[in-house]
Structure 1
Amino acid sequence: MAQAATEVLDLCMDLIARNSQTPEDAGCCALLGSRLEKLGFALEWINAGGVTNLWARLGTQGPLFILAGHTDVVPPGPREQWQSDPFVPEIRDGLLYGRGAADMKSGLAAMVVATERLLARRPLRGSLAYLITSDEEGAARHGTRHVVEVLKSRGIVPDYAIVGEATGAQQLGDRITIGRRGSLGCNLRVLGKQGHVAYPEKADNPIHRLAPALAELCATVWDQGNAHFPPTSFQVSNIHAGTGANNVIPGQVDLIFNFRFSTESSAESLKARVHTVLDRHGLRHEADWWLSGEPFLTREAELISAARAAVAEVTGLSPSLFTGGGTSDARFIAPWGAQVVEIGPVNDSIHKVNEHVLVSDLDRLSRIYEGVMDRLI
């Protein structure tokens, strides 16, 4: 057990030391692939748009279990605020520091060592595959989304999948993610007519026109949510208008807003309701919508049961089932037909300066992954 714990730590540190700021992979997939190839996995590189994508599979029979994750990380931010170099892993007071320590190089390291340990004990009862990308933290166009489309075209359909995103709230195993809200965004431009502030009758102020419509949008109850999801939320993230002069009515105002929506709403219904409000207020506008992902939910069945049991066995906890947070690549895997959960370390430090993970959690996370696989394949 001590040797396995060291192996997870060593592999995690080796990954952190590779500066894989999105969409760069910096050799992470090659490192992971070399470990998997020694176990008999067949490696395939399904790269696209400058993104590194590794599909590695062992076995041809069902059920097919996928372990999924990403090697890319967000930029470290101000280097001077880090207590150590973000790409030089360092252990202090039982914590492993470095960009990607929690999100999600620890998950990848734990998955690989869990696989090595499982296969050293017995053969698979099915097939195991890895889907690893370097395009999760960025545009997410050429990563998991692309690989899934390629594999779907071959008729490949997975049964189960674990995404190794950081999911713990206070401690490892206190919750697992079984679904995610959808994300729908819009760049909205409201058009008016520029003019002098002293002659408003000769202009058309788009800020004034937008204000009551925006107030209505902010006050709207979009749905009530359900047993698994909170109500859909509408949030404005950016608003901009003006020419830089304090005596000019601008000719347009630009707004960016986002819906995080439950399974009680759809992207099309939300778009239609927004346009109804804008039209009712007589706004001349241009709307550029983008859909980052539809909501999904894994119902309680074999995978969730196995995940609960594995977490309880390793940590003694009964994990809560969570559907909050941002989006993840699970949004591309779930519609493919698989039962999907996300299990990973505590997420308190992800995307922050001095990102870290508890060293003692690394092997425990690996044993959780091994326990889930042991129960299903």
Structure 2
Amino acid sequence: MTSSIDPVEFARRLIACPSITPARGEVFDLLEEALVPLGFAVHRFVLGEAPDGPTENMVAMRGSGGPHFGFAGHVDVVPPGEGWSSDPFDPVIEDGILTGRGANDMKSAIAAFIAAVASAPREKGTLSLLITGDEEGYATYGTPRIIDWLNERDIRPDMILIGEPTSVDRLGDTIKIGRRGSVNMWIDVLGTQGHVAYPHRADNPVPSLARIVNALTDHHLDDGTDAFPPSNLEFTAISTPTQASNVIPGSATAQLNIRFNNLQKGADLVRMVEEVVEREAPGSSVRARISGEAFLTPPGELYDLIVSAIREETGIEPELSTSGGTSDGRFLISLCPVVDFGLPNATMHKVGEHAAVEDIRTLSRIYGRVLDKLFN
């Protein structure tokens, strides 16, 4: 059966909805319009308030019983930025390239999956789409709330494929079988503001913060595992509130991020930083936000389905990787095995974000092969 949905045209329509994170409304209307005729029961809910909301989520389900295959993704996008040669929300196809914000990350993958579903058999098992409007933000009201919705109804997929752009040089060369965890922290050191000519009347917090930075930079976290590289701590900003060159600041702040493997837990890393800070600058404070824990999906049926579909469609043997940033898999792993696979990711978040038209069509065929293998 030929799909009744053109994945490239549907991706173009999704991109034309300016769904900057957190997203709701029009872009979900378009998804519902496509899914209901395909036999899906569509459930939409909006949660939260600014700054992390309001966020819309969608759970669309078709069929009953097992196996239950879930596809997860997000329709929110990062702000477009300056320097585009055309309107980032007025998608352009030129020389076989679809350009627009979300073309790569990840509206084209959602379109590819929906096109695949349009021709998938309906007689066996359950299909679900778990779509959030807040993956690019803090996800406060995003995928974790979808998981709450599923748990409240005792619904649990057997496996989930996330359509994040994971390929590197060619479509199909990389799938992500796990992701590192991520925690952001802000260290605040207090002092006493004063004139640089009278240091005895002030208390400069910068030397204390420098000791903290040195101590944490020298701290060895781990050596990594067979599946993950070593955990890594990076300072990303250091600031003081003063602008004048002759003022000793009254406070100093450092911002850091730790990307960590499955040897670590976010809360343990926060405690480690707190201990170093208290030792080097007693009375200083640490604020932390854990974006997600590291996870690893062990080999199994989900691996086999996706790897064989990629191999049959492209002739490529994909690398199984845990590199790169995080994804909503950090939440969904609490439900079942999770794998990320999608388009080449070179232009994600960039000005001029784009995807090759033929890659979008091939991706849809790969997703279709996965469904055929599972449900036929």
Shorter-chain TM-score: what band? over 0.9
Deviation per CA, 1:273-294, whole angstroms, max 9, x where unpaired? 2122222223321111111111
Retained in 1: the 8 A contact 2:75–2:106? yes
Q: Tell me the matched-pair count.
A: 370
Partner of 2:333: 334
Share of identical aligned residues, percent? 43
Deviation per CA, 1:190-239, whole angstroms, max 9, x where unpaired? 11222222222332211011112211211221111101111111111111
Partner of 2:366: 368
Partner of 1:144: 143
Letter in 2 for 1:322: S
Deviation per CA, 1:43-99, whole angstroms, max 9, x where unpaired? 111321222211111122022111111111111101xx2122211111122111111
Q: State how far apart, in whole Å, the 2-side matches of 1:151 and 1:207 are.
A: 49
Retained in 2: the 8 A contact 1:19–1:26? no
Q: State how far apart, in whole Å, the 2-side matches of 1:42 and 1:84 are.
A: 37
Deviation per CA, 1:321-376, whole angstroms, max 9, x where unpaired? 1112222111111122x111111111100100111001111111011111122222
Q: Secondary structure at the match of 1:129?
A: strand
Deviation per CA, 1:98-154, whole angstroms, max 9, x where unpaired? 1110111100100001001223xxx34311001111111123111111111121122
TM-score by length of 1: 0.94
Partner of 2:90: 88
Retained in 2: the 8 A contact 1:74–1:137? yes
Letter in 2 for 1:75: P
Q: Secondary structure at the match of 1:138?
A: coil
Partner of 1:188: 187
Retained in 2: the 8 A contact 1:114–1:366? yes
Greater helix proportion? 1
Deviation per CA, 1:154-178, whole angstroms, max 9, x where unpaired? 2222111011111110110000011
Quick one: which of 51, 54, 57 aligns to 2:55?
A: 51
Retained in 2: the 8 A contact 1:18–1:26? no
Q: Secondary structure at the match of 1:111?
A: helix
Partner of 1:38: 37
Partner of 1:129: 128
Shift of 1:272: 2.1
Retained in 2: the 8 A contact 1:210–1:283? no
Letter in 1 for 2:117: T
Partner of 1:69: 73
Q: State how far apart, in whole Å, the 2-side matches of 1:265 and 1:12 are.
A: 38
Q: State how far apart, in whole Å, the 2-side matches of 1:42 and 1:249 are.
A: 62
Retained in 2: the 8 A contact 1:4–1:363? no
Q: Secondary structure at the match of 1:371?
A: helix
Q: How does 1:162-311 map to 2 (within 5 A)?
A: 162-311=161-310
Letter in 2 for 1:231: P
Q: Secondary structure at the match of 2:6?
A: helix
Say what the alpha-carbon RMSD is for the aligned residues.
1.6
The runs of at least 4 aligned residues of structure 1 exceeding 4 Å deviation read: 3-6
Unaligned runs of 5+ in 2: 49-53
Deviation per CA, 1:220-274, whole angstroms, max 9, x where unpaired? 2111110111111111111111422222211110111111110011112212221
Retained in 2: the 8 A contact 1:179–1:322? yes
Report which stretch shifted further, 275-284 or 129-138.
275-284
Retained in 2: the 8 A contact 1:95–1:359? yes
Retained in 1: the 8 A contact 2:167–2:174? yes
Retained in 1: the 8 A contact 2:11–2:107? yes
Report which stretch shifted further, 291-300 or 236-245.
236-245
Retained in 1: the 8 A contact 2:4–2:118? no
Deviation per CA, 1:290-316, whole angstroms, max 9, x where unpaired? 111111111110001111000101111
Retained in 2: the 8 A contact 1:242–1:248? no
Retained in 1: the 8 A contact 2:174–2:320? yes
Q: Secondary structure at the match of 2:333?
A: helix
1:113 partnered with 2:112 = no
Q: Secondary structure at the match of 1:76?
A: coil
Q: Secondary structure at the match of 2:120?
A: helix
TM-score by length of 2: 0.94
Q: Secondary structure at the match of 1:102?
A: coil
1:322 partnered with 2:326 = no
Retained in 1: the 8 A contact 2:104–2:348? yes
Q: Secondary structure at the match of 2:244?
A: coil
Letter in 2 for 1:117: S
